[in-house]
Amino acid sequence: MKRKYLIEYDRANCIGAAACAAVAPEFWSMDEDNKATLDGATKNSDNSMQTREVELDGSELNNLLESAKTCPVNVIHVIDKETGEKLI
């Protein structure tokens, strides 16, 4: 069963390690400035913060969570939309 999650990405503090893109290329890509971009995201005016709502099954969620856990500066957060629980 799929559930809705909100991905919040603090792009301003990304150091460009590319771990997220290596683990979950279906969510992340690397931009020309060597920072990750959350594909399909809504971006604020200066692109320092990106958000995306997704509907995922268990294996897709695990892949997303793994990409967030690999971030050395912890700028990727995943929130369960139903419960409001911050998973990462």
Residue 30, classed as helix, strand or coil, is strand
Q: Please report, for the domain that includes residue 58, its CATH number.
A: 3.30.70.20
Does residue 20 fall inside a structural domain? Answer: yes
pTM of the model: 0.94
Does residue 87 fall inside a structural domain? Answer: no
Q: Tokens 């990106």 map to which residue?
A: 50
pLDDT bin (cut points 50, 70, 90) of residue 15 is very high
Mean pLDDT of 13-17: 98
E-strand ranges in 23-74 read 28-30, 36-38, 42-43, 50-56
Does residue 86 fall inside a structural domain? Answer: no
- Burial pattern 19-35, b for ≥16 Cβ within 10 A else e, equals bbbebbeebbebeeeeb
User: What domain count does the chain have?
Assistant: 1
Domain coverage including residue 16: 3-80
